[in-house]
A and B are shown apart, each in its own frame.
Chain A
């Protein structure tokens, strides 16, 4: 414990000289190694949000439905009838790249704990995954391990994995992104918070034993990768979904009693952050006897115990005299239960090991004097606009086939069939649509949920990309007939110490802010993952948005499948044929200057988005819509093809003058939906009244997809090309 703190030790802990000087000021003495370790994890980027906080504060976080915004374990929104939805998204990027199975599995475990810690029964999981180029030697192994890890954990705990997205891009070759989201259900008057109260109250440790795994995970996640990142494998935690399942049941059983004062899961920075956060929020001190912590092996030091990120552990403050109730429940589930300390009035974190005080440090300044940086940033350069006429036209049928079989647009069936998306028996809309729909037990009410982001737009124009990510979730919820309520965000970026990366961050936040305000769609929780870069090469920025919407009656929810031949196919929203940043351009025009240039992405008109979305929801509620799909990656014809496959029905489409065919069918203009209707007259009238452009573009047919009477492709061929790529790729063919 008396090891001398050298400049080298400080640097190894990821602290700057300036930050160390602040520590000296707080303690009025030199820290010992345990104390230094505690400061280092509390002040890591991962735990302190030191680079991002000033920007995150600009996001709208309140609204009539918001019960609890950012700052707790997860966000809480009122969904009526005394029910609350609790949700959050969180990254596990760095560990998943180092050890894909365990990294992804513990990502699921961590986000589940954030949600059930607040008193919610987890009812659905989603995930957003981004991998490197398919031909990069590491990609296949990462896809395989991450998908197996997410499934291995989620399937075992019995929470259905109902939705997600997966992209490939060379910028993720050295840093994959694994973002996991959990949605839970609680009673609005039975929400549990982290704020400790009542000096003398017992502090209880629950769940799995503490081992030497994951030490410095939070610090690892706050640095770039270099050539020897593989050697960081010991910083990755190992998940035990069986213990998590027991922990969920035990916690929810205990939460039904009046025993709990405060509760916090041991996530990043383990026992350190959970004890500091609980005591800090209550303005109290906390004293822990580390000898009482259940340990996997003897001889662990205070430093190791406090910094371990062993999984499936919780910390609680109990009402005095309720220890026996809690012990009985945890015994039933054969989980470790130990009273390891109590709350104090000292305001200090006081740790004992082998009878000695091994750390004694004030909690309040650890939080209030945590570094916060206004990092320098430069605005991303404006990109040129690409005219459709400058993009080589490819025959519509050929372009459709190539896009539908491309890595970013092909079927994700290979992935989601490895996830149990049916357990709990409430999955109304399975993976593969715009948004998943999950019914709430005992009634007809349901939640719709989706995760979305288009990193190539965010890279080309951060502000537009940030707004687009928000509106795409809003559109996807709208397309299933749900009223969008709120979002959770997962900000994945490169090194914030580089001004151009900070500029991407600032731009994305500003776009998100504008979209959230325009759509009355607040942010209630989130997570930031920075330093996603390797040897100086940063990822395409990915502000992944998880959106949640409400359906009064899941029986009225809408899906994307074509229903009956003869129904009219209608496009809502304006088509200008925007090919800049499109998948048409990226996938089909690889050679030459066009692909080498970063073009401006399609602009987002928030007022038009709102008009179109509100109209779509009205049309669905009025019963005028038989299928609905938003238009996003790949453009209009890709959306139509997806509707055809889902409904196992073709269509007869007709050309439109004014926009070149390749731009009309594959441009990625925003704010658009395709609907089918048996009442085109009423839909047309409603669109005109709402000021939304509308065009009849064809009819649903039993046979193939045709354009102006000429066959484009049969359903069978379309399905074959759409389903083929991912399984073939994963087989190594």
Chain B
């Protein structure tokens, strides 16, 4: 699987996700600076986490207008898979590749801790290694992860199977107490209509390394997402 990780000024998890991809695919992604206007021929485009442009103005808003984003949007529309994690999800929304926006967490605080996610469907190139309904543990690390869209959009996302992940209790129950940021309908990640674009707030890349699992938390449940992509795209 050949992949490219787009680096914006202020991106800070490009190496985390490059490491996770390398662990799953055996090959390291190319890092592409945001001022580039062309992308190499790749099977997967990654928008990583961080604070592109300091999240000034609005999360993802300035990054979505970076030169490289014309090409990212063009490739995505032509069917190249794109995954955006955390800040990458925010940028995908701002670029119009995914519906909705991210509000400030309901707690008004930055939140960094493990959460449980319910895998809504295994029927995607991103989630085929999971069973539908499976519960995985991965961390979040964000200040603005409170997913918002109007009711009609949310109904459509649910109706067309575009919800990828929801925050849940360890047993899979959709408990409001397990929703860490106030996201509408506990949505943690969504697909576009063709399920070739995935945006998610949690960090599966930070749940792929057995050496980092310990008494204080951690898991390797994120590996399934990277294996799914490798199997689908290699």
Using a CB–CB cutoff of 8 Å, the interface residues on chain A facing chain B are: 148, 151-152, 155-158, 240-243, 245-246, 332-334, 416-433, 439, 441, 444, 554-555, 559-561, 646-647
Contacts and interface: CB of A to CB of B under 8 A. Distances in A.
Contacts of B54: 156, 240-243, 245
A245 B52 CA distance: 10
Contact of B112 (A158, A334, A418): A418
A423 B141 contact: yes
Contacts of B141: 155, 420, 422-423
Given A157-B12, A425-B16, A420 B110 contact: yes
A151 B109 CA distance: 9
B166 interface: no
Interface stretch (B129-137, B150-158, B171-179, B209-217): B209-217
B9 A421 contact: no
Interface residues of B, number: 36
Given A156-B10, A420-B110, A555 B211 contact: yes
A242 B216 contact: no
Contacts of A426: 212
Contacts of A560: 215
Contacts of A431: 216
A242 B13 contact: no
Contacts of A433: 215-216
A428 B211 contact: yes
A425 B215 contact: no
B50 A158 contact: yes
Contact of A418 (B109, B206, B209): B109
Nearest to A439: B211
Going nearest first, the 5 A-B pairs with the smallest beta carbon separation are A158-B12, A242-B54, A561-B215, A430-B216, A425-B16
B51 A245 contact: yes
Q: Which of B10, B13, B209, B218 has the most CB of A within 10 A?
A: B10
Interface in B50-85: 50-51, 53-56
Contacts of B212: 425-428, 439
A418 B111 contact: yes
B205 interface: yes
Interface string B202-234: 010110010110111110000000000000000
12 contacts: A156-B54, A241-B54, A242-B53, A417-B109, A418-B109, A418-B111, A420-B141, A422-B112, A422-B141, A422-B206, A425-B20, A555-B211
Nearest to A151: B110
A24 to B, nearest CB: 47
A240 B56 CA distance: 10
B112 A647 contact: no
Nearest to B141: A420
Contact of A155 (B56, B143, B216): B143
B10 A422 contact: no
B9 A430 contact: no
A559 B139 CA distance: 20
Say what secondary structure dominates the interface of chain B.
mixed
A454 to B, nearest CB: 24
B2 interface: no
A428 B10 contact: no
Contacts of B139: 422
Interface string B85-128: 00000000000000000000000011111000000000000000
A439 B218 CA distance: 15
Most buried by A among B10, B205, B211, B215: B215
A559 B214 contact: yes
Nearest to B7: A249
Given A241-B51, A242-B56, A334-B9, A647 B215 contact: yes
A151 B111 CA distance: 10
Contacts of B205: 425
Contact of B110 (A155, A242, A246): A155
Contacts of B12: 156-158, 245, 423-424
Contacts of B55: 156
B112 A425 contact: no
Nearest to B12: A158
Given A241-B54, A433-B216, A423 B10 contact: no
Contacts of B214: 428-430, 559
A191 to B, nearest CB: 23
Contacts of A439: 211-212
A425 B110 contact: no
A648 to B, nearest CB: 9
A425 B19 contact: yes
Nearest to A333: B9
B68 to A, nearest CB: 14
Given A155-B110, A422-B206, 4 more contacts: A155-B141, A245-B51, A418-B110, A422-B112
B15 interface: yes
A559 B51 contact: no
A152 B55 CA distance: 11
B53 A419 contact: no
A535 to B, nearest CB: 34
Given A418-B112, A646-B215, A245 B10 contact: yes
Nearest to A249: B9
Contacts of B51: 155-156, 158, 241-242, 245
A421 B112 contact: yes
Contacts of A646: 215-216
A157 B10 CA distance: 7
A429 B206 contact: no
Contacts of B217: 430
A436 to B, nearest CB: 9
Nearest to B209: A425
A431 B228 CA distance: 32
Interface in B24-49: 33, 35, 49
Nearest to B212: A428
Contacts of B143: 155
A242 B12 CA distance: 11
Contact of B15 (A333, A425, A554, A647): A425
A492 to B, nearest CB: 27
Contacts of A418: 109-112
Contacts of B10: 156, 242, 245-246
Contacts of B15: 424-425, 441
A559 B213 CA distance: 12
A428 B110 CA distance: 21
A1 to B, nearest CB: 38
Contacts of A427: 212
B215 A419 contact: no
Interface string B169-213: 000000000000000000000000000000000010110010110
Given A242-B53, A559-B215, A561-B215, A424 B16 contact: yes
A425 B33 CA distance: 21
Contacts of A148: 109-110
A158 B113 contact: no
A729 to B, nearest CB: 15
Nearest to B205: A425
Contact of B9 (A242, A417, A424): A242
B20 to A, nearest CB: 8
